[in-house]
Amino acid sequence: MSASLEQFEKICAEATESLLEVKDLDALEQFRIKYLGRKGSVTDMLSQIGQFPKELKPQAGQLANKVKKQVAEQFEQVKAQLESQKKPQEDVFDVTLPGIEQPIGKTHVITQTVDALLEIFGRMGFGVAYGPEVEDEWHNFVALNIGQEHPARDPLDNFYVDDNTLLRSQTSTIQIRVMENTKPPIRVVAPGRVYRPDTVDATHMFMFHQLEALVVDEGVTMVDMKTTIDQFMHAFFGPETKWRFRPSFFPFTEPSAEVDILWVDRSGKAEWMEIGGCGMVDPNVFDAVGIDNEKYTGWAFGFGIERLAMKKYGITDIRLLYENDLRFLKQF
């Protein structure tokens, strides 16, 4: 065997021995440059094949390619081993470090208000009822003693789906459904969304929430209603809360009243703000749902939940509740 072929084998042996001494990726890179780089020893063997006599060129070419392949494979094995040893060090988790606080969601201020209302009335012995938001005219108007010519049925004041179907304009529709399917005594509250094409301003929206209450039993009077509202006002707003009845008219109650609460804005100005209506259930409503109006009496009220929340939390504009501004919502 000629000296040149022996030199090829010597380079292979040196590379193998040198690779055993590599302990980190920096040393491995130096090895690559020395042996497998553009001017490395192993790469240089290929350029020397042309210097061999014709009869030795095939043998020299095979040996050079064998050495290059062997050194390259050993290089990749060592590289993979060193990288696998380094990776766990990068992923080490220090359990002594303080935890990273994860942001979590919270219930919207309207949902918080609904939950608080249901909790208060639950303590008073009220059940909870729900109903569809898309209603027919019977439940939204006719059964509530709202005649065909009443202005509340004007298409400009409602979101009609077709001639007999609309988005409910009041949660009183749930009261009708409860009375149709439940015999007295009845004691229930009904929260939900309602829809009216009102002009949007600081106190009005085209979609808002109401909470209805209904009590039907023998001997129920307006004193019972006033006592219930008074207990609710003081439980929800505090014992110093000032509120009042103001005579009014609703087709489904007689007598009827508006419920106002004293509103004090941030400047200290006080004024009365309407939060809903109430009254004794009209006998015609009992007739529509098949309840004996000679035996039973009842009262009902409907409060705007947004206005309750605004009064409780000092919110001056109802639009803030629906703008999804986290700076505002995080306050609650």
pLDDT grade, residue 1 (50/70/90)? Answer: very low
- Do residues 258 and 225 both lie within one domain? yes
What is the C-alpha separation between 179 and 184, in angstroms, rounded? 8
Domain range spanning residue 134? 109-329
Number of domains the chain contains: 2
Burial (CB < 10 A; 0-12, 13-18, 19+), residue 179, is: buried
- Do residues 74 and 158 both lie within one domain? no
- Do residues 252 and 287 both lie within one domain? yes
Q: What does the pLDDT read at residue 8?
A: 73
Does the residue 64 lie in any domain?
yes
- For residue 247, say if its preceding peptide bond is cis, omega within 30 degrees of 0: no
Does the residue 101 lie in any domain?
no
- Do residues 79 and 113 both lie within one domain? no
CA dist 86 to 74, 81, 90, 92, Å?
Answer: 19, 9, 7, 11
Does the residue 96 lie in any domain?
no
Q: What does the pLDDT read at residue 61?
A: 74
Whether pTM > 0.85 for this model: the answer is no
Using the 3D structure, point to which of 90, 123, 158 is the last residue of a domain: 90
Does the residue 104 lie in any domain?
no
Please state, for a pLDDT cut of 90, what percent of the chain lies above it. Answer: 50
- Do residues 78 and 214 both lie within one domain? no
Is the model's pLDDT at 198 over the cut of 70?
Answer: yes
CA dist 135 to 24, 130, 131, 238, Å?
Answer: 75, 13, 9, 36
